[in-house]
Amino acid sequence: MTKSTPHIEPNDVPIAKTVLMPGDPLRAKYIADHYLDNVEQFNSVRNMFGYTGTYKGKTVSVMGSGMGMPSIGIYSYELYNFFDVETIIRVGSCGALQPQINLYDLIIAQAASTNSNYVDQYNIPGHYAPIADFNLMVKAKQYADQLGATVHVGNVLSSDTFYNADTQFNDQWQQMGILGIEMESAALYLNAVHAGRQALGIFTVSDHILRDEATTAEERQNAFTQMMEVALEIAE
């Protein structure tokens, strides 16, 4: 286990085997402040806050990932390979692409399609499909159902572009059954499988691309409680 990396300096604060990873470091702080006991901060490098505490007696960490696959690619790689983390659960927001999905619904990413070339580094002779850990996915679905959440399980798009010049971009992915668009999970899933570890993405629908509906920045930071509770409950 590494003492520090260029991006994570725990200063002897332990990092748990399971890390919740929102994109926004302020959402990481919100989770630590509102859900964890005995909290210690293990990272502040580049203001990418990381915390370790306990949830119902379980030791859990939470840390921001930043936006996009290059950013989560760095942090998840270091957590898996240098800090002996076994499981990363991405808790984020996404834009819905299907008409049956509504704001605040949960999406569990069974798979993460992508327009990124992140996979190219592995020199795979074909097209690799980044998928979640099956057991984590099942547990998340079961607990979300217990909470009474409206939950959808399926394929998301991890996009390298937030603003896309191709006006047909969303329509083409919608036609292929993509539930929602986010920007990180494909890299996380690839890093996990390459390291022999586990990963899952759970999302709250923050906006609806088809209907031009959206939540506020404050709501995205503070109001996505069902997603956070599901991730914490399945943490081991």
CATH number at residue 117: 3.40.50.1580
Chunked into runs of 10 residues, the chain (236 residues) has average pLDDT values of: 92 97 96 97 98 98 98 98 98 97 97 98 97 98 97 98 94 98 98 98 96 84 85 96
The answer to whether residue 1 is domain-embedded is no
Number of separate domains in the chain: 1
The answer to whether residue 32 is domain-embedded is yes
pLDDT at 107: 98
pLDDT at 219: 77
The answer to whether residue 166 is domain-embedded is yes
The answer to whether residue 4 is domain-embedded is no
For tokens 């957590």, the residue is 79
Using a cut of 0.75, tell me whether the model's pTM lies above it.
Answer: yes
The answer to whether residue 11 is domain-embedded is no
Q: Report the half-sphere exposure of 161 (CA within 13 A, side-chain side).
A: 9
Which of 185, 175, 197, 190 has the alpha carbon at shortest distance from 127?
Answer: 190
Catalytic residue status for 207: yes
Q: Classify strands 18-21 and 106-114 as parallel, antiparallel or unpaired.
A: unpaired
pLDDT at 223: 67
List residues forming the annotated binding site for a purine D-ribonucleoside: 7, 182-184, 206-207
pLDDT at 222: 67
List residues forming the annotated binding site for phosphate: 23, 27, 46, 90-93
CA 120 to chain centre: 21
Note down the domain range covering 192.
18-234
The answer to whether residue 27 is domain-embedded is yes
**Which residue out of 37, 160, 207, 212 is catalytically annotated?**
207
pLDDT at 127: 94
Q: Is the dihedral of CA 41, 8, 28, 79 positive or negative?
A: negative
The answer to whether residue 220 is domain-embedded is yes
DSSP for 47-98, please give it. Answer: G--EEEEEETTEEEEEE---SSHHHHHHHHHHHHHHS---EEEEEEEEEE-S
- Round to whole Å and give the CA distance between 138 and 141: 5
List residues forming the annotated binding site: 7, 23, 27, 46, 90-93, 182-184, 206-207
The answer to whether residue 108 is domain-embedded is yes
pLDDT at 207: 95
